[in-house]
């Protein structure tokens, strides 16, 4: 069978597990295209107004796959919890119901299961057994497929811990062992990106922040690269944990990077109309004032112009250069014969 997987939301966390599971069963995986204007328009036209852009984008990806008649099922998992006593956004936990409500004529093609992750393998096995009942695969095959899915997810985590982005993981999904061994080039400046993985890695909705930084010679790290153990102690600063695992990862991971001497600045990326994002962004603001490290917030919506974003990123890079004592940078299109078209102006 051909299984469609929307390239949105928890795709940017658990795609390796889903890839390992479905491919080991012999099913062909069909990914939706990376987010573009058409996907956003589809999402906006098939969703309610008061949800965040990330969920609207997910609607668009699902609709894109449902319109492909050669796709037998579109996989819409219900991620209920990613840590014991921590739950996900109600809209994300209700994704299968939202999709079935939005695409009534295709409800029989929406494949779903309820996942409780980071709580041992037993809940994962139970979720995949739920899929088994819908696809009709044998118990023996399912057991092997679950092991393969967990193996791929662990390799993806190792790739992230070694400094590679999740976009690198997707590109190298067939050979993650080689990706883990591949060194990451160190840059003079390093900026940390804090936020939910789907906001950080959806290059169309966020104006391709990663490429803009890398094209300016800035290295990037992300909060999903961190082992949660390294930022666990920041709960003391927050007084109490937030109720959503990914919100805690963004808040505590951002604080960890603010404290890190190897990081020059932190950029948070979030979706317009996301309530929990406003909480962790405020926490980062308060903490950055105590430590004195630059923090910038980028809030994305369905308006896709990025001219203003490019200016803000250039100004942010200027700020971290000044703090390092390197002076400002102005693009001169190489009119003065400067190296790489960059002219340094000392203060």
Question: Helix, strand, coil % (nearest 5) of the chain?
Answer: 55, 15, 30
Name the strand (E) or helix (H) holding 9: none
| pLDDT tier, 57 (very low <50, low <70, confident <90, very high otherwise) | very high
- For 10-22, the pLDDT digits (tens) are 999 999 999 999 9
Using the predicted structure, report yes or no on whether residue 338 has a pLDDT greater than 80: no
Using the predicted structure, report yes or no on whether residue 344 has a pLDDT greater than 70: no
Pairwise CA distance, residues 166 & 201, whole Å? 7
Residue 276: its pLDDT value, please? 87
Residues in the chain: 347
CA-based nearest residue to 343, from 219, 319, 190, 335 = 335
Helix (H, G, I), strand (E, B) or coil at 244: coil
Q: What is the mean pLDDT of residues 78-104?
A: 92
Using the predicted structure, report yes or no on whether residue 332 has a pLDDT greater than 70: no
Q: What is the mean pLDDT of residues 91-95?
A: 93
Residue 341: its pLDDT value, please? 39
Query: Please, what is the angle between helix 245-259 and helix 275-291, to 10°?
Result: 20
| pLDDT tier, 321 (very low <50, low <70, confident <90, very high otherwise) | very high
Pairwise CA distance, residues 128 & 97, whole Å? 19
Residue 327: its pLDDT value, please? 77
Query: Please, what is the angle between helix 53-66 and helix 95-102, to 10°?
Result: 60
Using the predicted structure, report yes or no on whether residue 306 has a pLDDT greater than 80: no
**Beta partners for residue 74, in sequence order:** 4, 110
**Beta partners for residue 268, in sequence order:** 194, 297
Query: Please, what is the angle between helix 53-66 and helix 37-45, to 10°?
Result: 100
HSE toward the beta carbon, residue 199, CA cutoff 13 A: 27
Q: What is the mean pLDDT of residues 161-190?
A: 96
Residue 260: its pLDDT value, please? 96
Residue 337: its pLDDT value, please? 39
Name the strand (E) or helix (H) holding 190: strand 189-195
Pairwise CA distance, residues 287 & 234, whole Å? 10
Residue 17: its pLDDT value, please? 96
* Mean pLDDT rounded to a whole number for the chain: 90
Architecture in CATH of 185-345 = 3-Layer(aba) Sandwich (3.40)
147-151, 169-173, 261-265, 271-275: segment of lowest average pLDDT: 271-275
Q: What is the mean pLDDT of residues 275-286?
A: 91
| β-bridge pairing 328-331 and 78-81 | unpaired
Residue 122: its pLDDT value, please? 87
| pLDDT tier, 342 (very low <50, low <70, confident <90, very high otherwise) | very low
The residues spanned by each domain of the chain are 2-169, 185-345
* Percentage above 90 pLDDT, the chain: 73
| β-bridge pairing 265-271 and 189-195 | parallel
| pLDDT tier, 171 (very low <50, low <70, confident <90, very high otherwise) | very high
**Which of 154-168, 233-247, 298-312: highest mean pLDDT?**
154-168
Q: What is the mean pLDDT of residues 314-340?
A: 70
Name the strand (E) or helix (H) holding 316: helix 307-323
Cβ-based neighbours of 237, under 8 Å, separated by 6 or more: 255, 283, 287
Residue 330: its pLDDT value, please? 54
| Chain center to CA of 143 | 28
Using the predicted structure, report yes or no on whether residue 209 has a pLDDT greater than 60: yes
Residue 333: its pLDDT value, please? 45
142-165: burial string, b at 16+ Cβ within 10 Å, e else: beebbebbbebbebbbebbeebbb
Using the predicted structure, report yes or no on whether residue 347 has a pLDDT greater than 50: no
Helix (H, G, I), strand (E, B) or coil at 145: helix
Residue 336: its pLDDT value, please? 36
102-116, 199-213, 319-333: segment of lowest average pLDDT: 319-333
HSE toward the beta carbon, residue 142, CA cutoff 13 A: 16
């Amino acid at each position: 069978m051909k299984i469609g997987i929307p390239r949105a939301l928890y795709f940017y966390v658990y795609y390796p597990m889903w890839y390992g599971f479905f491919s080991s069963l012999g099913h062909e995986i069909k990914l939706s295209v990376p987010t573009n204007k058409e996907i956003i328009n589809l999402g906006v036209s098939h969703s309610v107004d008061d949800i965040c852009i990330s969920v609207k984008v997910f609607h668009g990806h699902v609709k894109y796959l449902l319109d492909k008649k050669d796709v037998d099922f579109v996989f819409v998992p219900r991620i209920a919890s990613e840590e014991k006593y921590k739950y996900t956004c109600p809209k994300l936990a209700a994704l299968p119901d939202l999709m079935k409500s939005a695409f009534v004529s295709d409800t029989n093609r929406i494949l779903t299961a309820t996942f409780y992750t980071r709580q041992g393998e037993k809940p994962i096995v139970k979720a995949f057994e739920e899929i088994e009942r819908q696809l009709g695969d044998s118990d023996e095959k399912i057991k092997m497929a679950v092991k393969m899915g967990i193996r791929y997810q662990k390799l993806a985590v190792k790739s992230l811990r070694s400094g590679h982005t999740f976009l690198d993981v997707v590109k190298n999904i067939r050979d993650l062992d080689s990706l883990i061994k591949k060194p990451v080039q160190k840059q003079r400046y390093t900026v940390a990106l804090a936020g939910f993985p789907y906001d950080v890695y959806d290059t169309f909705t966020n104006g391709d922040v990663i490429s803009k930084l890398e094209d300016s010679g800035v290295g990037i790290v992300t909060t999903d690269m961190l082992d949660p153990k390294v930022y666990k102690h920041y709960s003391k600063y927050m007084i109490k944990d937030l109720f959503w695992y990914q919100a805690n990862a963004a808040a505590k991971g951002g604080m960890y990077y603010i404290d890190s001497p190897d990081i020059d600045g932190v950029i948070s990326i979030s979706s317009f109309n996301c309530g929990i994002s406003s909480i962790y962004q405020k926490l980062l603001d308060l903490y950055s004032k105590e430590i004195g490290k630059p923090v910038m917030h980028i809030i994305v919506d369905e308006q896709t112009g990025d001219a203003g974003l490019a200016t803000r990123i250039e100004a942010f890079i200027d700020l971290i250069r000044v703090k390092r004592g390197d002076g400002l940078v102005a693009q001169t299109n190489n009119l003065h014969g400067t190296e790489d078209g960059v002219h340094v102006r000392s203060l």
